[in-house]
Amino acid sequence: MGDTLTVTSPHDGSVVGEVPLGDAAAVETALATAHGLYQDRDGWLPLHQRVDILQRLAELMAAQEEDLARLAAAEGGKPLVDSRVEASRATDGIRLCIETIRTEGGSVIPVQGTAGGAGRVAFTTKEPIGVVVAISAFNHPLNLIVHQVAAAVAAGCPVIVKPAEDTPLSCQRFVELVHEAGLAPEWCQFLMPADLGLAEALVTDERVGFFSFIGSARVGWMLKAKLAAGTRCALEHGGAAPAFVAADADLDIAVPSILKGGFYHAGQVCVSVQRVFVDQSVVRDFLDRLVAGVQDLTVGDPLDESTEVGPLIRAGEVDRVHEWVQAAREAGAEVACGGTPLDLGEGQYYEPTVLIHPPADARVSTHEIFGPVVCVYTMDDLDDAIAQANSLEVAFQAAVFTKDIDLALRVSRHIDASAVMVNDHTAFRVDGMPFAGLRQSGLGVGGIPYTIHDMQIEKMLVLKSGALGTL
């Protein structure tokens, strides 16, 4: 130990804070500590104690939401108006953890329906699955941590959390609040390994019971392949979310919704609106409205109250996004607006961009952009548009804008997606709903109740007694 990671603002490069880096000894200490807690079954935290801790945590977070929002905005670049929503959701996520574990229970297993089950009763109870190792992403530096870490605490698991290198301060502060709420520090450990090799060693250790990962598909699938035998996991990657705008769509609803879903957090959201298929009869009106809305967006300092679109997380991401946009332009796409880096702050800004008809094989059409770029395609035939949307290796959430319930249901039935929003954008999420990437987009189901379930085992107890009948 002794080395630190300096965290800088994506807006202007100023230092926001520092976190300690852990060496091999720190990784081993964290794993040994967490595993020792799990092995000591008499020392497991009872349900009522976990509820009490989470209640105090919710109170602490509610009192500090503004500070938490400002910290998240400073290190991650999400505008303050949206970071405040994230902080509020994080607090509510703690309350959802409480609701989940207070009301969950096992089940009675029917065994007496055959002669072999006579004289027996069976039921299940919930137990923690083991040591949880969580690796998180930068784009929701507080709320994603709640989904991973608070869920582990609720399930009764010792947890080790490694946040994204770009945004570790929100995670560090959250862990401090968990300890302040009454959880012994060894039950919830913040750890930033000094290099990728140490991070991999943490994840793939045989003492890990559950691995929770939010990040790139390349890294997630690589780590899954290296997990120790028996380690369960959940992976949340990215997508290239499609939205369909039918001829009868209410553009007063569709355009503002797509504007928010496409440019929220500068498009750095795994379910951001990326590909919009618009019926040919309304495409011109739609584009006029969308472009006007994009040009009216306020881009700048995420801590400014008026900012709607902040910076990209790293300067290299600006270069990558611009390269993809330029390649699409050269291949025939029309740039309706935007298409250039912006000279703001430290240069980590990209102009909100609308591309018209990029080729189907362009990277902006086939890969997650993860930047402030929305692609619009004229839709001549709904089935063809659905087929194009389904042609990628990623699948997550989708949307359709229409007044026709039959058309909405048709899209829902045929689109490859885990969730379909009707008259709402693809990035809609509340923290109790299932949230699942399909294909290369992930493994398992996110959402706080579902995550808690994954971090538990259901143990069955069978009681045999002559008092129950003929044996």
Distance CA 334, CA 354 (A): 8
Q: Where are the alpha helices (DSSP H) in 376-418?
A: 382-389, 405-414
Distance CA 91, CA 174 (A): 11
3-state DSSP call for residue 274?
strand
CA 261, 296, 78, 267: dihedral to nearest 10 degrees?
40
Distance CA 166, CA 171 (A): 11
368 in active site: no
Angle value at C-alpha 427, between 174 and 371, nearest 5 degrees: 85
Which residues lie closer than 8 Å to 458 by C-beta, 6 or more apart?
106, 107, 124, 125, 126, 127
Q: Where are the alpha helices (DSSP H) in 181-249?
A: 196-204, 217-225
Active-site residue, from 97, 270, 368, 375: 270
Structure letter (DSSP) for residue 227 = P
CA distances 312 to 87, 89, 209, 341, 369, Å, are: 20, 22, 34, 10, 12
- Residue reference for tokens 């002669």: 115
- Are the C-beta atoms of residues 79 and 302 closer than 8 Å to each other? yes
236 in active site: yes
- Are the C-beta atoms of residues 75 and 68 closer than 8 Å to each other? no
Distance CA 448, CA 174 (A): 17
Active-site residue, from 86, 97, 157, 236: 236
What residues act catalytically? Answer: 236, 270
